Amino acid sequence: MLSSKKIEEELIRVLGYSKFGLSPAEIFPIVNNLRKHSFFIEVKSNVDIIQEDMTDNIFLECAVDGKADYIISGDYHLLNVGKYKE
């Protein structure tokens, strides 16, 4: 599993939505657990193919720089990309 600074920031932002009902004290252990179980990627790529939700491009950037074979997601913006590069 790959992660990046922007992915961590997005996770913190999304988990802060009221619909999840999580406090900052509850979010930190989740992010910490992600750090323990993923490879941190220093992202250098800049991808902008997803126009409907530009934030989703951070997952493609991490995948490219981390040389991922797959992105596992339920996000339809990412699913609609299909195959990207190799």
Torsion of CA 30, 34, 77, 73, to 10 degrees: -100
- Which residue numbers in the chain have pLDDT < 50? none
For 8-21, what is each residue's pLDDT tens digit?
999 999 999 999 99
Q: What is the pLDDT of residue 84?
A: 85
Per-residue pLDDT, 85: 81
Give pLDDT, residue 25. Answer: 96
* DSSP secondary structure of 9-70: HHHHHHHTSGGGT--HHHHHHHHHHHHHTSEE-----------S-GGGHHHHHHHHHTT-S-
pLDDT of residue 49: 94
